[in-house]
Amino acid sequence: MLAQLERCRSVRKSDLRHGDCVVVTTENSVYSICVLEDMTYAIRGGWFDRNGLSPVKTSISGCTWGGSAIKRDIVAACGLHLEFGNRVITSRIREVGVIRAKTGEVLGWQPAAARDLTAACYGSRVAGSIAG
């Protein structure tokens, strides 16, 4: 059974549990953020895909308005920038969605190409023009 994407304006760390996945669309990229048991995150997409690092296990520092002030309790919020534990900062967040894990179910993730993620968000015609 396919999980339902729950769209929201922001996601707090305290609202997530192991297995939940946050899908973040920024001005430049799409990120898939899966919550691990130790409250670290498995990240795919965006900067990590472009640098051949996906999936990467890291923490999330929080969200910023573009300066040095950071909201540490937030994973992602529309209009803000997401800052990962490795100091990578995203472009402005446009959309946030959460896929809730079923209790006791472990999600099996497979790598997704950036082109596939773009097609899922913007349609295959846009993804084709970006790919070349």
Helix axis angle for 124-131 and 114-122, nearest 10°, is 140
The residues spanned by each domain of the chain are 5-131
Q: Using an 8 Å Cβ cutoff, are 57 and 124 in contact?
A: no
pLDDT tens-digit profile of 21-32?
A: 999 999 999 999
pLDDT tens-digit profile of 90-101?
A: 999 999 999 988
Its pTM stands at: 0.71
